[in-house]
Amino acid sequence: MKRFNIILFLLALVVLTVEAKDLRVAGIFGNNMVLQQKTTTPIWGWADAGAIVTVTSSWNDKSYSVKVGKDGTWRIMLHTPEAGGPYILTITEDKTITFSDVYIGEVWLASGQSNMAMQLKECYESTKAILASQKSNIRFINVPPLGSYKPLTDIKADWVVAAPENVGDCSAVAWYFAHFIQENLGVPVGIINASFGGSIVETWMSRETCQTLGDISVPEVSDGTTGWEANIPTTMYNGMLNPIVGYCIQGCIWYQGESNVYNVSQYSNRLVAMVAEWRRKWGRNFPFYFTQITPFDYATWNVPSEVGEHVGAYLRDEQRKSMDRIENSGMAVILDVGEVEQIHPVRKEKVGERLGLMALAEVYNMKGFEYKSPVFERMEVDDDKAVIYFKDLYYGLTSYGKPLHLFEIADESKVFHPAEAYVDEERDVVVVSSKYVRKPKAVRYAFKNYVEPELFSLSGLPVSSFRTDNW
């Protein structure tokens, strides 16, 4: 994968440092924005200490006032109605700031590394999606890809109304997710895209959280520091997330993990810690839907790893385990969109829609459809056979009439052998065996860096790769 280096000019810190003088509103707010519907949402900024700031919302013609704190900051909570618009928001103190074309709807944060950052215009058959944007009411804001050793307090960015001339710059995964949601709900959708190519999960956590994990080297700020790489802990949190924490969101979609194949064993612990921190900072247990990384030939990376050759499979399994550890979460399995020599697969529509399926079912309470891929639940031994049970299984399993070749089985020797496997349709299980294994101890499925899936739910969602062992 490409390594992304960006240069931090110390002058930028001066620009983004808050000085409590003229009235100012945080850069995450602006014209064309979408605010979360039917909730209490904050708006904040800076002004002279002791001044009175008043915010007036046109949807209810109410005004809300607050006294600016000694530190020059102010924060006001607004009550939002059901989805609708356009509305106007005015903020007044020594001057008046007006935000127009404001809509109320569903707001989602999209974050991760390059597969989330990948733009719609870079993807397969994106022209159709780009043209469809002219009939949508989707708005997006791209948080500038800026890391920092210190927590920043503001950003410079604009909300954009999706249209053919600009939507190509939107995150492809986020766009397909938003479009899928809007098609089914019929409400405005806002996407906050805070993603950075090449970033490891540790870059998206604060210094405090990294330190609690114990084995993460957190950089110190020193004079003369002018740059960093995307694999330095805390930098993306400081530069991209800290300035927007608190903007009311319905939930988060996350696509990241490829850069963590260099330290697979700690990934689940760190992802769990990251999500816990984000929820704590936002003050709510928002849904967190993430994407399992796609198959790819990581052998070409020469990854020095403690788990051996198939680091991609181990990382996918860490993600599978994370789903069970993170409350109110879900994982989109995308084994069927990988490319053996391309870490950035160009088919992003399935990715966004599978994330959207989980949101429609669990957040918006839509019924009657399968929305999660089956995942391993348990293994039972029946004589010389291993019987694999799955959860999140709604209608059944299928291999579409093709033989199953991706199962492996091992006994207490811990040596895995290619296995014979078939779907027992009456029990919705997979039965696995090998003439070389008389007492099964472990089974693995699709446990390679690059695979093309062969086991699906009846509605076509690929079963996640898995291992039953912890060897």
CA distance 197 to 385: 44
Residue 305 has pLDDT above 60, yes or no: yes
Structure tokens at 260: 């963590």
pLDDT at 309: 81
Per-residue tokens: 256: 């990241």
The reported pLDDT for the residue numbered 217 is 84
- pLDDT tens sequence across 345-374: 999 999 999 999 999 999 999 999 999 999
- Residues 226/10, Cβ–Cβ less than 8 Å: yes
Please say if the pLDDT value at position 426 is more than 50: yes
pLDDT in tens, 2-35: 443 433 333 344 444 444 479 999 999 999 999 9
Residue 340 pLDDT exceeds 70: yes
**pLDDT tens for residues 138-180?**
999 999 999 999 999 999 999 999 999 999 999 999 999 999 9
pLDDT average, residue stretch 259-274: 95
pLDDT at residue 284, as a whole number: 96
Question: Which is more confident, 14 or 464?
Answer: 464
pLDDT value of position 229: 60
**Which of the residue ranges 20-34, 420-434, 446-460 would you say has the lowest mean pLDDT?**
20-34
pLDDT for the residue 8: 36
119 SS3 class: strand
Matching CATH topology for 19-103 and 106-362? no
Domain ranges of the chain: 19-103, 106-362, 376-467
Average pLDDT, the chain: 93
Instruction: Answer whether 73's CB lies under 8 Å from 214's CB.
Output: no
Q: Tell me the sheet residues that pair with 385.
A: 382
In which band, very low, low, confident or very high, does the pLDDT at 304 lie, cut at 50, 70 and 90? confident
If we measure between CA atoms, which residue out of 199, 186, 276 comes closest to residue 239? 199
* pLDDT above 60 (res 36): yes
* pLDDT for the residue 215: 81
Q: Which amino acid is at 63?
A: S
Considering the segment(s) 19-103 as one domain, its CATH architecture is Sandwich (2.60)
pLDDT at 214: 84
Summarize the confidence of residues 194-198 as an average pLDDT: 97
pLDDT digits (tens, 9 = 90+) for 84-122: 999 999 999 989 999 999 999 999 999 999 999 999 999
Any idea which architecture 106-362 has in CATH? Answer: 3-Layer(aba) Sandwich (3.40)
| Encoded tokens for 121 | 């215009």
What is residue 73's predicted lDDT score, i.e. its pLDDT?
Answer: 98
Confidence tier at 51 by pLDDT (50, 70, 90): very high
Q: In the prediction, which pLDDT does 302 show?
A: 77
pLDDT at position 12 is 42
* Global pTM value: 0.93
Helix, strand, or coil (residue 307): coil
pLDDT in tens, 208-235: 999 999 888 887 765 334 444 678 999 9
Q: How far apart are CA 408 and CA 442, in angstroms?
A: 8
Beta strands in 352-455 (DSSP E): 375-382, 385-391, 397-398, 407-410, 416-418, 420-424, 429-433, 442-445
- Average pLDDT on 37-60 reads 98
